[in-house]
């Protein structure tokens, strides 16, 4: 495992504003002496390195892996235009330890930066009188949460990974470790985030972008809800979801009182969400424009911020999904999302579903991804011909799209999934119990709110999504929740992880395979075989990591690959 000693350069350059004299400055004195004696002396030094944690998390390598790891193997994605060989091979389920996307260095760089902040910040607080104990606790909370988020990505992708909480400070330090088990890492990061969540800042400022682009208490709660969902502690997941939802309700009530004439929020059931067409207008797209166009919306909990003026660019979106100059990105989406839309026989979307209109751009030969690529969209919410509405999309000419990690509807649907799992199975030949029905009703309450907003429906009398159609079994309710998560969170790096979580719970990959195999036009039988084992849900360790770290043992699903022996 490569955990490089990058802290000195990042920290010193950050404090100097990344000026061109960085290399010359480093030659004045030995690097470790500068850091230990002169650098970690005041709060601004700590903040510089903390900012570097975010900067590294926003790096192209990290964002690319959030997309590739979280979406590429799912039923959402197929090859687009000019697709690289590494992506093509993953799409074919020909995933080898030589593939460039099996490297994890970028995430371990973030982890090492976080470990370094946690290591040095207490000493700085002892010598800087302006750096208060509460500010120190908030700093440690941010760094701990970012580190835990990185490990959460890693275990969902690789299952077992080396777990390090000490910084790499010296060139001769040994950080070749065996992989810790998935459950052990998950338990550790849950404990870590729970220990610091109440120290995290509630708000950093008056503006949304100040409170959604850094770790807040609510971001910690979102992470904990997600982690507990994976752990199978469903009541804890619900508890943390409710903390976030209750806060959003309070924020909505405040906005309703302060800005009633300009408010673009509406209640869907009890949930305040951004309206597709505020004031019951006939033009939709407002939800997309606020969440994905402008960014840092009311619904956002944590997102990574990109700014062309500051030259902080999200090149992953333009490369993978597309842009105004390169409309067809390396990734596209299968035709089954749009087949039969004109007569409403499509199993995924109604033809008026705002998510279809906003997420997907239909071309003659392929469906390309529009989410994140468009800076704004608009369309008529009703047409006299009953045809599919025509969408006017303003595609971005720059790489300025924020990348969203958590938002409110994600939390609502986590809550729905947890309620379904708490209810459990309906026993054969028996009616649903009162307790089960309460859980199922609460799950449906969250799903129908997201669905109504997505279909621009305010009145329950117009619903075509009916509780009784799904409440006969846990499997039907799960399918309902997962289907709504797919529509709502499409292309946001969530779908493959949802399918992995489903397989882990089932102890079987059959349901996932039935969904994913549909995107393969050929060799479906061989794909079913490759995906049958639970080991195959995860990525292999990169060949170079295996060479460097002899403690790592390759995922059994890839030991039998044709290239394994020759690449050892």
Residue 526 in domain: no
- For residues 49 and 155, state if they share a domain: yes
* 240 occurs within a structural domain: yes
Last residue of a domain, one of 378, 401, 424: 401
3-state secondary structure of 394: strand
Beta bridge partners of 377: 393
Three-state DSSP state, 285: coil
3-state secondary structure of 260: coil
CB 307 within 8 Å of CB 400: yes
Place of tokens 């943390």: 240
> Which of the listed residues 401, 426, 457 is the one where a domain comes to its end?
401
Residue 128 lies in a domain: yes
- Tell me the DSSP string of 8-42: HHHHHHHHTTS-TTHHHHHTSS-HHHIIIIIITTS
**488 and 548 share a domain?**
no
- Based on the fold, state whether residues 43 and 131 are members of the same structural domain: yes
Q: Do 512 and 533 meet the contact criterion of CB atoms below 8 Å apart?
A: no
Question: Is the separation of the CB atoms in 306 and 312 below 8 Å?
Answer: yes
Contact 160, 181 (CB under 8 A): yes
**Residue 26 is encoded by which pair of tokens?**
């480093």
CB contact at 8 A, 267 and 362: no
CATH number at residue 414: 1.25.40
Token couple for 67: 């997309």
Domain-located, residue 346: yes
CA 407 to chain centroid: 9
Within a domain: 295: yes
Q: Are 327 and 395 in contact (CB under 8 A)?
A: yes
Same domain membership, residue 102 and residue 79: yes
Model-level pTM?
0.93
Structural domain boundaries, residue 67: 1-199+538-568
The owner of tokens 């976080």 is: 114
Identify whether residues 153 and 45 lie together within a single domain.
yes
Amino acid 207: pLDDT: 76
Q: What is the maximal distance between C-alpha atoms in the chain?
A: 80
Cβ atoms of 187 and 228 within 8 Å: the answer is no
Q: Which residues contact 47 (CB under 8 A, 6 or more apart)?
A: 139
Residues 484, 464 share a domain: yes
d(CA 333, CA 368) in angstroms, rounded, equals: 6
Q: Is residue 533 part of a domain?
A: no
In total, the chain counts a number of residues equal to 568
Predicted pLDDT of residue 365: 82
CB-CB contact of 291 with 281 (8 Å): no
Burial of 387 (0-12, 13-18, 19+ CB in 10 A): exposed
Query: Do 327 and 467 belong together in one domain?
Result: no
Write the burial class of residue 126 (CB in 10 Å: 0-12 exposed, 13-18 middle, 19+ buried).
exposed
Q: Residue 382 in 3-state DSSP?
A: coil
What pLDDT does residue 11 have? 44
Same domain, yes or no, for 64 and 150? yes
Which of 123, 114, 165, 168 lies closest to 141 in space, CA to CA?
A: 114
In the 8-state DSSP scheme, what is residue 456?
A: T
Domain assignment present for 204: no
Check residue 541 and report its DSSP letter.
P
411 occurs within a structural domain:
yes
Same domain for 480 and 364? no
Q: What pLDDT is recorded for position 210? A: 83
Asked whether residue 476 falls in the same domain as residue 432, the answer is yes
Q: In 455-523, where does DSSP find H-type helix?
A: 474-489, 495-506, 510-516
Same domain, 188 and 284: no
Domain with residue 123: its CATH number is 1.25.40.390
Kindly list the distances between the CA atom of residue 247 and the CA atoms of 195, 407, 450, in Å, as whole numbers in the listed order: 21, 13, 18
- The domain boundary, picked from 351, 384, 401, lies at 401
Beta bridge pairs of residue 368: 332, 361
Strands 367-369, 360-362: parallel, antiparallel or unpaired by DSSP?
A: antiparallel
pLDDT tens by residue, the chain, 568 residues: 333 444 444 544 444 333 333 333 223 333 444 445 568 999 999 999 999 999 999 999 999 999 999 999 999 999 999 999 999 999 999 999 999 999 999 999 999 999 999 999 999 999 999 999 999 999 999 999 999 999 999 999 999 999 999 998 765 455 689 999 999 999 999 999 999 999 999 999 877 778 999 999 999 999 999 999 999 999 999 999 999 999 999 999 999 999 998 999 999 999 999 999 998 888 999 999 999 999 999 999 999 999 877 678 899 999 999 998 877 899 999 999 999 998 889 999 998 899 999 999 998 789 999 999 999 999 988 766 678 889 999 999 888 899 999 999 999 999 999 999 999 998 887 889 999 999 999 999 999 999 999 998 766 667 788 999 999 899 999 999 999 999 999 999 999 999 999 999 999 999 999 999 999 988 999 999 999 999 999 999 999 999 999 999 999 999 854 444 443 4
Residues 152 and 3 in one domain: yes
Nearest Cα residue to 440 out of 419, 469, 426, 460: 419
In the chain, the number of structural domains is 3
């Amino acid at each position: 495992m490569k955990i490089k000693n990058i802290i000195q350069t990042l920290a010193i350059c950050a404090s100097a504003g990344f000026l061109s004299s960085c290399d010359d400055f480093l030659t004045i004195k030995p690097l470790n002496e500068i850091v230990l004696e002169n650098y970690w002396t005041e709060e601004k030094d700590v903040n510089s390195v903390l900012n570097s944690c975010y900067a590294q998390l926003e790096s192209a390598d990290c964002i690319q892996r959030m997309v590739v790891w979280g979406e590429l193997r799912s039923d959402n994605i197929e090859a687009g235009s000019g697709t690289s060989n590494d992506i093509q091979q993953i799409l074919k389920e020909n995933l080898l330890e030589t593939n460039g996307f099996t490297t994890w260095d970028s995430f371990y760089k973030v982890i090492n930066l976080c470990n370094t902040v946690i290591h040095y910040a207490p000493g700085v607080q002892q010598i800087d009188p302006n750096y208060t104990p509460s500010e120190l606790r908030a700093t440690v909370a941010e760094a701990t949460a970012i580190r835990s988020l990185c490990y959460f990505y890693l275990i969902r992708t690789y299952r077992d990974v080396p777990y390090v909480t000490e910084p790499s400070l010296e060139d001769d330090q040994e950080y070749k470790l065996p992989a810790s088990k998935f459950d052990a890492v998950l338990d550790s990061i849950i404990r870590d985030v729970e220990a610091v969540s109440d120290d995290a800042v509630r708000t950093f400022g008056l503006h949304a972008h100040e409170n959604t682009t850094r770790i807040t208490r609510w971001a910690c709660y979102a992470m904990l809800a997600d982690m507990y969902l994976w752990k199978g502690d469903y009541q804890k997941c619900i508890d943390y979801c409710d903390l976030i939802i209750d806060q959003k309700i309070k924020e909505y009530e405040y906005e309703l009182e302060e800005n009633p004439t300009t408010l673009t929020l509406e209640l869907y059931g009890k949930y305040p969400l951004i309206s597709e067409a505020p004031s019951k207008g006939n033009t939709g797209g407002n939800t997309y424009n606020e969440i994905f166009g402008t960014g840092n919306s009311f619904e956002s909990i944590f997102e990574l911020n990109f700014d062309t003026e500051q030259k902080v660019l999200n090149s992953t979106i333009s490369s993978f999904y597309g842009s105004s100059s390169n409309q067809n990105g390396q990734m596209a989406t299968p035709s089954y999302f749009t087949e039969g839309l004109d007569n409403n026989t499509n199993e995924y979307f109604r033809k008026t579903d705002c998510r279809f209109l906003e997420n997907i751009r239909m071309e003659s030969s392929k469906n390309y991804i529009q989410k994140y690529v468009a800076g704004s969209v608009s369309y008529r919410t009703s047409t006299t011909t009953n045809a599919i509405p025509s969408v006017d999309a303003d595609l971005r000419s720059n790489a300025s799209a924020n990348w969203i990690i958590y938002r409110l509807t994600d939390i609502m649907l986590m809550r729905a999934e947890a309620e379904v799992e708490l209810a459990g199975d309906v026993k054969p030949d028996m009616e649903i119990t009162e307790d089960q029905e309460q859980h199922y009703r609460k799950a449906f309450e969250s799903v129908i709110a997201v669905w109504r907003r997505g279909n621009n429906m305010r009145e329950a009398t117009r619903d075509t999504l009916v509780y009784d159609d799904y409440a006969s079994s846990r499997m039907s309710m799960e399918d309902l929740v997962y289907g709504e998560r797919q529509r709502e969170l499409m292309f946001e790096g969530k779908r493959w992880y949802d399918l992995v979580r489903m397989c882990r719970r089932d102890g079987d990959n059959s349901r996932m395979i039935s969904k994913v195999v549909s995107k393969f036009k050929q060799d479906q039988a061989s794909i079913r075989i490759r995906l049958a084992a639970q080991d195959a849900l995860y990525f292999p360790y990169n060949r170079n990591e295996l060479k460097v770290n002899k403690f790592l043992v390759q995922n059994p699903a890839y030991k039998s690959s044709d290239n394994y022996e020759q690449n050892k």
